[in-house]
Amino acid sequence: MSKHSDIKRVTTHVLQELKLKGEKISMLTAYDYSMAKIIDEAGIDVILVGDSASNVMAGHETTLPITLDQMIYHASSVVRAAKRSLIVVDLPFGTYQGNSKMALASAIQIMKESGAHSVKLEGGREIIESVDRILSAGIPVMGHLGLTPQSIYKFGTYVVRAKEEDEAQRLKEDALLLEASGCFAIVLEKIPAHLAKEVAESVNIPVIGIGAGNGVDGQVLVSHDMLGINNDFNPRFLRKYHNLYEEMKGAVGAYIKDVKSKDFPNEKEQY
């Protein structure tokens, strides 16, 4: 079995091996070349080109407005940077729900035009026909259950999901269904830790959590949140590794001061 540092390119098979070995999988979002290069070179296993780009990059309130072409633009920038990580791209809202033919066309367009390695879809039984059809074309699919932000107007709120027994039961069944379909992994977002652990133990494919506790096979965060670039999102599950919002603002402030005071550029910074 390969060591983490020996891996040339993380594949869906590598993720499966990591689960078998009990080594946790690391996953972060990226939407552009520069961020993807840093994250990839740091040794992340999976880069998610999430539809959270709609919030983080474009400033929308929800993930709903982002289009397939915009996702392809973000994904192809990430693909140009990432040499090691497995790249997963979210199918955006309205490009796969309820119409498996359209779902396959959307997934093919992402794979062809961005060069990414796999796609992620939100939902369980209600989208299983789309999942099956995409898989039948040889495109690896990651599932996403629990809090599914594309359905925010159905939920009405971003609170923890599946706290009640009937929703928890449905989620467990959906995880088994996604595994039986052939998904290579499942993201579980914002559900009780005990439920996420139970799901991770009930399936053979890797389960990656966000706000789903430590009993799963890996963790994913939005990079702008964990780096503290985004300073107005502070859920309980988020660990901030930096306060880049303040650091970057401070650097810009220093630059403005230097320009105004004519300190920049100095003798050595000109031709």
How many Å apart are CA 201 and CA 163, to the nearest integer?
18
Residue 77 as a binder of ligand KIV (CB under 6 A): the answer is: no
Interface residue with ligand KIV among 210, 226, 227, 229 (CB under 6 A) is 210
* Contacts to ligand KIV from residues 226-255, by CB under 6 A: none
Type of residue numbered 194: H
**H-helix or E-strand containing 245?**
helix 244-260
At 187 the three-state DSSP class reads strand
| Nearest-approach distance from CB 211 to ligand KIV, in angstroms | 9
Nearer to ligand KIV, 19 or 93 (CB): 93
Nearer to ligand KIV, 103 or 220 (CB): 220
Interface residue with ligand KIV among 46, 220, 226, 227 (CB under 6 A) is 220
Q: Known catalytic residue: 198?
A: no
Q: Which residue is nearest to ligand KIV (CB)?
A: 50
* C-alpha distances out from residue 76 to 48, 97, 116, 121, 237, Å: 12, 23, 7, 19, 30
Nearer to ligand KIV, 25 or 220 (CB): 220
Q: Please report the DSSP string for 81-101 in residue order.
A: H-SSSEEEEEPPTTSSTT-HH
Nearer to ligand KIV, 12 or 260 (CB): 12
Nearer to ligand KIV, 191 or 222 (CB): 222
At 149 the three-state DSSP class reads helix
Interface residue with ligand KIV among 36, 66, 110, 187 (CB under 6 A) is 187
Closest alpha carbon to 139 in 177, 170, 166, 108: 108
Site string for ligand KIV, 48-67 (x = CB under 6 A): x-xxx---------------
* Contacts to ligand KIV from residues 82-101, by CB under 6 A: 90
User: How is residue 196 written in tokens?
Assistant: 């996420």
| Nearest-approach distance from CB 53 to ligand KIV, in angstroms | 7
Q: How many chain residues touch ligand KIV (CB under 6 A)?
A: 11
User: How is residue 85 written in tokens?
Assistant: 């990580």
Instruction: Single out the catalytic residue among 113, 189, 247, 267.
Output: 189
Round to the nearest angstrom and report the end-to-end CA distance of the chain. 55
How many Å apart are CA 17 and CA 19, to the nearest integer?
5
8 A C-beta contact, residue 47 and residue 39: yes
Catalytic center residues: 189
Q: Which residues bind ligand KIV (CB under 6 A)?
A: 29, 48, 50-52, 90, 187, 189, 210, 220, 222
